[in-house]
Every structure is written in structure tokens, then in C-alpha cells.
Structure 1
């Protein structure tokens, strides 16, 4: 686009060279005659007058607005003027006309901050802080929404951030209860390889603080389990001021919550489980080690490597972050924890068991051994049922299996596969419903000691020759496991050796008899023996029929 300076130069040249009139010059250049006269008077275009908006209409009312904002400095926080309320009062009390909401809003936003500073309520000055390596960290929770297994779910993100290097650990939890709070600390300590030696900054979270003792500085009444935890790991807490006043005291982690949510969790992540999403987050954290924060010279990973030697070492043992409970097992072999039912092995019916309720799982103990493990469920009234916990009972009551909740849940989760279905159907046809189901249960019991892929391979091999025996499945599953461990999926063995592994080892003798000798199953020698005959026995029967009297005398004697 031609500038006004160039336009004025063209007009002056045409007037000088061609002697055109003002009207002719205006027509040639498509401008007003006033513009032509300005160009002929001066080569420099006149300065444009600033556009006068509607804000001038606010000038008579600014003193009234300032008075309302000054009044707000002593008013309760939730009863202060909004820009919309100020506009309404100007219209009602001062007869303001022609004022727009945006005009009032823009003035209030700037003027309120100035008045707060003048009243000593807000100081908009940030003093740069230095954090010694290995000394401090900050912790906070942030809300996030994810598509969890197809359902939009509200979750909570635990964040631990080292103040010196800026290294942050993020974990998505179903709740922000104390077990999630403690578990997040443990994983963060393990990830960074130590514990800050000075303190860790916190809000007044109920997971750590039972009550704020007002009038005594930062003194807090702490939760007993939290005191035990920080004593175990050897660090001190620093509690920020309650409410908005303390937000700036841990600004690093506050900013990290927003940054991670915008850059990693937008759009809303989709995952089948929280474990899957947290594994994805671990990979993102490794990528973030190459990031530089603001104008720092070194990356986060480089600063973390320099900070690690200054951290306190981790204790030799690990703290159990779970909430310990002792529910009783009901007649359905279920326990109730936080209004959710979980199954346990049937041998615990009527007993109390020790349960560790953790952030994302529930663990049931029999002494020190783990008796059951479930993914934690948040929905009230839900159930988590595992088929394995009922196998001993179903062995004696096989008719209860088809309609059982445990079987339905196993099918939904994919634990009860199409191979199991095929074996069950074949076994019931051959052995009957009860015995056929027991054979299936024997196969399900194999899962306690063998890999599922090996068992499925054993089922396929057995069904291939019409065998519906759990013993045959067990033998073939062990053989498959041995072959895989020797060869492996990625082995570079000779192709002939690999083919030998896949030779069918379960053999039906009836099938072998009926097959052509040239097509005998590989792995067995050809059977050249004659077919069995009963002709010899027929001869004996003939002799017996010829001498019936002698036979009767022998019987009498």
C-alpha cells in the first residue's frame, strides 16, 4: 500500500510538472481536495488525530468508581464490587448514560490494582529467590479430567517439584486422599534418588494438617500418620499461609500444575487405566529433562544431575503408603472397603484380613504374603470380582460357574479367553457338564503357576487332537514354555530347529491307526504290528461247546 509520504510526493510532482489543478489532482489520485491542498502546502503529511473512543464518557464518573474501590479495601472479600455492580450503581445513583460494560471493566481492572497497592493490600513486586541445590521442594495437587476407559472422569494430579533444578514428578490419582499423597512422595523420592535436606512446601492439606493454629505463625496440628511418614524419610514441612495469601509461597509448583496441564494433558487424554496414563507421563518427564526453564542456561536434566549429590539418601526400607484396614470377609468371599466390594480367596470367609488401601490399588495380606490384589475403584457400590478366588469352591459346586458374577467379570476383562470357552464346550460334550466343568477349573488353577500364553498354547494343542484333559493341557503348556524359553520369539536359531519345536506332540492313537502310513504324525515311528484279533478266543469257545458234560463234572469236583 502506498504511504501518505509517497502520495504527497506524487501530488506535488504532478502539480509541478504538469500544472494540474486541485480538482484534477484529486481525481487522478482518488483523494479529497483537502488532501491535495495539504500536500501542496507541505511535503510532510499532518499527524493524524487520535481516535476518540467512548472512554471519555467515563471521565465524570471516575471519582465515584474510585470511591467504591476504596470502600472495597475494608469490605469482606466475597462482598466487594464487581465491574457489573459498579456499572449498575453508576446508572442508578449517578444517572450515567451511554456507558458500556467493557469500558467500566477495563478501568476497574487497572484502577483496583493501583488502589490496593496504595492501601498496602497488594505489593506487585516479585523478589527473585535463590534455592540451594538439594535443599527445597514443593508439593501440590491439581484437578484433571481424562477419558478413562471410555468414561469422562475427574482425577487428581500429584506434583512434586524440586525448587533448584525445577525437576517435577507428576502422577494421576483417582483421589487426593492421604494414601495418594504419601504414595506420590515415595515415587518422587525414588525418581529423584533422594530427599530434600531443608524442607518441602505445602498447602494446608488435610492429608497432612488436621488444624491450622491461628495466631501462632506456621504452627499446625498434624496428622499422626503424616508425622510418622516424614520422620521415616527425615524431612521437615513448610506450611504456606492459608488461602490466596500463601499461593506465592510455592509459586514454582503452582506454575508447574498449569504448564503440565496445558502442554501435556490438552486435549483431554484417553487411557484404558491410570497405570497406562502414568507410564505415558513418565516418558514425558524424560523428554522434559531436555527443556530449559525461562532464561536458564542449563536444562532441567543437567541441573538435576548437579543437584542429586546434595540430596539426603533414601532409607533402606520402603514405607507402606496404604491405609491399613481390617474388614471381615462375608459369605460371598467379599470385603467392603469405602463402600466398594472386593473379592478375596474363599478360604478367608468369616475371618478378618489385613488390607492396604493405596492410591490406585488395594492389597489383601495373609500374614506377610499377598493374598489378593485389585485395582482401586472409586464408584460407590461397585464390585471387583476375580474368578481365581472361587475356584476351590467351584470345584465342588461346578454347576454354579455358568451364571457366576466372577465368570462374567473374567469374560469382560479378557482373562477368560476364547480358548477357555472352546475347551469348556468340548469337555462338557465328552465328560458331561459337571466333570467337564471340573476339567476346566483344573486348567484355570494352572494360571496360578504358569503363564497365560503357555496355557492357551496347551489348550490349542490338546483340542487339535480331541483331547479334553487338564493333564494333557498342563504337559503341553510346560512344553510350550520350555520351547519359548530356549528359542524365544526373537531367536536367530536355524529355521529347521524352529520347525521342530512346532511338531505336534499330543497324539491320538485312534487317529494314528486310521491315518495312511505315509501321513503318520511326525515324531512317532510307523506301527507295523497287525491289527488285534479275537480268533484265538473264538476257538476256545468252540471247544468248550463240544464237551459240555466234562465241563460240568469239573465244576462239581
Structure 2
């Protein structure tokens, strides 16, 4: 075609510039006069007509093949004719003289046409859709693996995607149960600042659907808590066709799960907790605003800026996504939730409490009062125990502390620091095991009303002067807290004065008494006062009245 276009252009130029006749142009360019007339009539060469190829052998058996393919529409999927089987039947039953390749090519083209003519398209046809800003969103779960505190753990990624802008929110949870499903929605609504006005698309997740009504179109029986959640936030749900056939109806989020997993969770992330991972995912989600989807001219962030004001506002009241349970506290001050145990203060033993089981944490209430909060334990039979819940009983039974699970977990989590261990060891040297443990427990009780850093600073100051008393720790902790809050400086010192002098706020009289009397301990001068004496009190005994041996008379008594 390219050479003929250039030839036509030269013929038309010579006719225009040189004024050649048709005969002269044909002679000049070595073509027929018919070709010259075609070039002068139109700049574009006419397309060459390819004659239709006849297939007399195929024409005689077309109807037979069509009949077989039509019958296959109602046959079981695994018992339909292949091209080879059709060819064999044509040869055996109709004595057809035809090649296999001819039958195969015809079957390949004609099978789809017959299905479409019968209204049973073998290939799903996708019709491009437009999604109004702020109207629709899609939700799905996907599996991900995380090296959680050194252990490879299977987790679940919740993905929420606005259909118009493609703005997505991702969170990783240890479970895909309803509490994670609801918490993921709340995180997404809060992160995006609104709720879709039309609907959110789902597949048939058990977190929302109790029963799929087959033959009833998209009708579903939704569970009660999910209906309550939808009513609270004011949106409707759109359920896709069950199975793989309905995956395209929320294809945006289906592809989003895999894309995010490949781009951000490969290689397998190694974190200490899912809280740390989700904090990093929030950063990644924000960076996604600069991404362009497919051939769009605008970025995700630019489209979301248009869409966000059109979302429905969030309700004023929060919704508790946790599963509500009412277990009884056992004699170990533990409640059992989903095969895991969590501690509560010992005063609630043998009482029923209310538990809100969330995706990442467990909250325990006495009525409306929050009495304990734990990270959720995914290990079957696991325990999450807080040392603070047992302090009152440990003060009565100090011997139970060294081998307790609560102490072991406190050490592992870092709540029980080396400073606490040092205080405990120093106290045992002077007070014995039982009294030292009680002093330690009194120090641990300070954490309920004071900042942990201030208490540790108070322990350090007390140990520096050999004072193993919870009262001293409390005094020093309050001093540190007041100085950090008000910037307290001694009025008689300018900044930097006596910077090389080590000053102790606490003075241990016990240390001074046990040390060399001639030494000056902790900045105290030598004590030159005489030892105390009770001789003055002995002198007073001389003036004490002597008892009489004769009993007094009645007149004397009166």
C-alpha cells in the first residue's frame, strides 16, 4: 500500500505541474491508463478485492456441525464435543472427505457464534462502567505473610478502594473475622473522611452474609450486627455474583489486593507487631496519591480531592467494632476469650465482665468502666498477663512474685526494667526477701499514678545513695516530674554553675550509720552531738509520791 500511495502522488503531481496527458503519464510511470485514471480520481489507492474462497466440501457438512454445536449448549461441560470428536463423527457417520484442520478452524469460529445467537456467550463480555465521585467503593480481604517478632505468621489484609478515584486504604489484621471486617471499615471511613453515598461492593463474606439465596438474584440474608453497622454509618451493600463469575464486579479492589501485596509487602515484611506494620502502611497509602492508574491523566490524589467533599459525613458517635462477650473471671484472675487468656485486676475474681474483642486488641469492662486492655493474642492457648493486675495479692504473698507468669511477661515486654531488678536486689541485701519484695511492689504501684520514666529516675536516684524505700523513690520521682514540667532551677545558681559537682537530693542515714564515722557521707558534716541520755528522767523519779499503807477513811474520800 505504501508504494502505491507514493506512485499515485507522483502521477498526480506530474499531471498538475507538467500537464501530462493520461497516455503520457502511463508511459512516464510504466503503469496502465486504468491506474492513471484511478490516481487522478482519488489520492488513496483503492483496496484490492480478495475473492471469497469457496469450500465445497465444508459447505455440505456445515449444517451437521452446527447441529452438534447447538446440542452441546445443553450438554454437561465435561461431555461436550471437541473438534477431534466432531471430525471423527463426520468421517464415521457421514463419510465426509475433509481435512481435520478445516473442521477445527470452522468449529473454533462457529462455536462462539452459536452460543451468542442462543444468548449464552461462552466468554464474559465486560462493559466499561462510569463511577460517580463519592458514590461507590469496593472491599476485599487478601492473605499476606508477615515475619511477626521473628515468626512467619499468616495474616489478612483488608483493602478498601473508592471506585471513582482509586484511593485505597489497607490494613493488616491477625484475623479476617467480623471484628477485623468492621474495624477495617472504620479505619477507612476515618482515613478518607466520609462514607460512599450509594453502596459498597462485596463478595459473600461470612462477616456480613449469613446465607446466600440461590436463584434469588443478589438477595442475601445479612447478619444482625452487620445490618446495625450499615445503619449506623448510613450506606448500602451490593453483593456480587457468587464464585469466580462475580469477581469482575469488584475488579478494582481484586486487582488492588495483589498490586499492593507485590509492591509493598514483597519481600515478607519483618516487624515486631502489626501496629508497627500498619503505621508503615499508612505512610505507603499517603504516597499512593502520586500514582496514576492506567492511562488516566490525573493522579489518584487529584481525583480524590474532587471526590472527598462528595462523600457522606461520618456519624457523630463512634461504633464499637468488637465482638461482645461476657466471660467469668477465674481464680487466676483470667478471662478466656477465643481459646486465649487475659488478666484483669484481682478484685474481679468470680465476677462476670464484658469483653470487646477487636481485631488487634481486647478491651475488658466492668459495666462501662474499662478495667483492662491487652493486645490480641492469636496463638491458641496463649496468655496475656499484666503484672499490675496482681500487685495487691502479691503484697500479701510476696513469695509468689519471682516465678510468676506476670513477672516473666513484664520483663519480656520491657515494663519491668533493669532498674526495678537493681532496686529489688539492693533491697534484698538489707531487708530480706519478703520485705524487699513488698518494697518493690510499693514502687510498682507508683506506676499507676506517675509516669514510668519519672519512677525509673526516682529508682536510680534512690539507689545512688543506697536508699531502698518506696517513699524515697516517690519523693524523687515527684521532684523529677516537677522539674521536667516547670523547668525548675535552684535560685542561687546560674546555669552551668557547679556543673562538675555531683549533688544528691536524697541522703541515706542508714548508709551514714553503717559507714566509717570519720567519713563525710553524702555531704553531711560529722555528728559531734553527745549520745542521748535518760538520766534526767531518772531524777524525776525522786519526786514521785510514795503510796500509803493505811487505807483512806470515808471522810477523806468524800
TM-score band, normalised by shorter chain: 0.7 to 0.9
Gaps of 5+ in 1: 1-66, 90-107, 489-493, 544-549
Q: In 1, Cα distance between the equivalents of 2:176 and 2:264?
A: 20
Gaps (5+ residues) in structure 2?
1-66, 86-103, 489-493, 549-558
Matches within 5 A, 1:190-205: 190-205=190-205
Distance 1:531 1:123 in 2: 106
Please tell me the root mean square deviation across aligned C-alpha atoms, in Å: 3.8
Greater Rg over alpha carbons, structure: 2
- The answer for the alignment partner of 2:466 in structure 1 is 466
Q: Which residue of 2 aligns with 1:219?
A: 219
Cα distance in 1 between the residues matched to 2:248 and 2:544: 118
- SS, match of residue 395 in structure 1: helix
Cα distance, 1:428 vs structure 2? 1.4
Q: How does 1:423-502 map to 2 (within 5 A)?
A: 423-487=423-487, 496=496
1:367-406 alignment, distance < 5 Å = 367-406=367-406
- Whether 1:330 aligns to 2:327 is no
Query: Whole-Å Cα distance in 2 between the matches of residues 537 and 235 of structure 1?
Result: 88
Alpha carbons of 1:502 and 1:385: their partners in 2 closer, same or farther (altered >3 Å)? farther
Aligned to 1:181: 181
Aligned ranges for residues 298-337 of structure 1 at < 5 Å?
298-337=298-337
Note closer, same or farther for the CA distance 1:466–1:117 as it changes in structure 2 (3 Å cut): farther
C-alpha distance in 1 between matches for 2:167 and 2:450: 41
1:533 maps to what in 2?
530
Match of 2:54 in 1: none
Which deviates more, 378-387 or 173-182? 378-387
Measured at CA, do residues 275 and 536 of structure 1 come closer, stay the same or move farther in structure 2, by a change above 3 Å? closer
Any conservation in 1 of the 2:465–2:504 contact (CA below 8 Å)?
Answer: no
Deviation at 1:504, TM superposition (A): 2.5
CA-CA distance at 1:300 after TM superposition: 1.2
Normalised TM-score (structure 1): 0.73
Q: In structure 2, what is the equivalent of residue 239 of structure 1?
A: 239
Partner of 1:252: 252
Alpha-carbon deviations, 1:237-282, whole Å to 9, x = none? 0000000111000000001001100000000111111101000100
Residues 168-216 of structure 1, C-alpha deviations (whole Å, 9 max, x = no match)? 0100011110000001001100000010000000001111010111222
Q: Which residue of 2 aligns with 1:505?
A: 505
Q: In the TM superposition, what is the alpha-carbon distance from 1:530 to its structure 2 partner?
A: 5.8
Moved runs in structure 1, 4+ residues, more than 3 A?
67-77, 111-126, 497-503, 509-521, 534-541, 550-557
Deviation at 1:383, TM superposition (A): 1.1
Q: How far did residue 115 of structure 1 move?
A: 5.4
8 Å CA contact 1:419, 1:460 repeated in 2 = yes
CA separation of 1:224 and 1:118: change in aligned 2, threshold 3 A: same
Q: Which residue of 2 aligns with 1:133?
A: 133
Q: State how many pairs are aligned.
A: 452
Secondary structure of 1:505 counterpart: coil
Q: Indicate the SS of the match to 2:496.
A: helix
In 1, distance between residues paired with 2:308 and 2:498? 49
Q: How does 1:289-304 map to 2 (within 5 A)?
A: 289-304=289-304
Q: CA deviation at 1:380?
A: 1.2
CA distance in 1, matches of 2:499, 2:352: 53
Distance 2:546 2:157 in 1: 94
* Residues 415/255 of structure 1: CA separation in 2 closer, same or farther (3 Å cut): same
> Comparing 458-467 with 408-417, which one deviates more in the overlay?
408-417
Aligned 8 A contact 1:69 1:112 in 2: no
Contact 2:148 2:274 in 1 (8 A): yes
Deviates more, 1:67-76 or 1:388-397: 67-76
Q: 1:433 to 1:536 in 2, by over 3 A?
A: closer
**Alpha-carbon contact 1:483-1:501 (below 8 Å) kept:** no
The 1-side partners of 2:463 and 2:242 are apart by 68
Write the distance in 1 (CA, Å) between the matches of 2:398 and 2:193. 52
* TM-score, length-scaled by structure 2: 0.73
Deviation at 1:118, TM superposition (A): 5.9
